Amino acid sequence: MKPAHPVLGRPGSDECPQYYAEYVALVPEDDILAVLESQIEEVVRLFAARSETDGEFRYAPGKWSIKEVLGHVIDVERVDAYRALRVSRNDQTPLPGFEQDDYVRYGPFARCRLADLVEEFIHVRRANLAMFRALDEGAWLRRGVANNHEVSVRALAYVLAGHARHHRRIIEEHYLPALPRP
């Protein structure tokens, strides 16, 4: 489904809290839907040659495994897309925050196959894209409160892309170079 309008550019600095602005800054592109779409293939390429053993790898003690990092990205996709849905529908109920470490600790990621987590990311991202593509201009600009901070739907879309980009870079810079060689 094609949007009824062009997405209205990048979010302003007043559309999200500072800790989200760091993710928004990682996405200089103006076409957020194209970025979100392209990240599906990026994730597939990043993990295509990785084994299940690679998925268990932690580059340092106390760090998440590669599967846990991907599981975390999927969790954030779900949480922030839910926030975007609620705000886009003009639901003014303040939405709670969540503790990412608890989500990883109690998540099923260690029991999942890496390939299944990649497939789950693809499905969740495609569902989120369908939701974003259907929004009209007013919905993109609508604001609500999440984790005690005002945030726009537009900013949440950029946060999803920036968050995925952030964790892809961590995997590329810290995990992949440190993987044991056979």
Residues 57-88 have pLDDT tens digits of 999 999 999 999 999 999 999 999 999 999 99
pLDDT computed for residue 9 by the predictor: 86
Q: Which residues contact 2 (CB under 8 A, 6 or more apart)?
A: 133
Task: Please write the tens of the pLDDT for every residue from 150-173.
Answer: 999 999 999 999 999 999 999 999
CA proximity to 109, closest of 121, 97, 98 = 121
Give the β-pairing of 149-152 and 143-146: antiparallel
CATH class of segment(s) 13-178: mainly alpha
Q: End-to-end CA distance of the chain: give it in Å, rounded.
A: 45
| pTM for this entry | 0.94
Contact indicator for 144, 92 with CB cutoff of 8 Å: yes
CA proximity to 26, closest of 166, 154, 168 = 166
Among positive and negative, which fits the CA dihedral 43, 45, 48, 54?
A: negative
Indicate the domain borders of the chain: 13-178
Task: Please write the tens of the pLDDT for every residue from 98-138.
Answer: 999 999 999 999 999 999 999 999 999 999 999 999 999 99
8 has pLDDT over 80: no
Q: What does residue 65 show for φ and ψ, rounded to 5 degrees?
A: -75, 165
Q: Which residues contact 70 (CB under 8 A, 6 or more apart)?
A: 43, 47, 109, 114, 117, 118, 121, 167
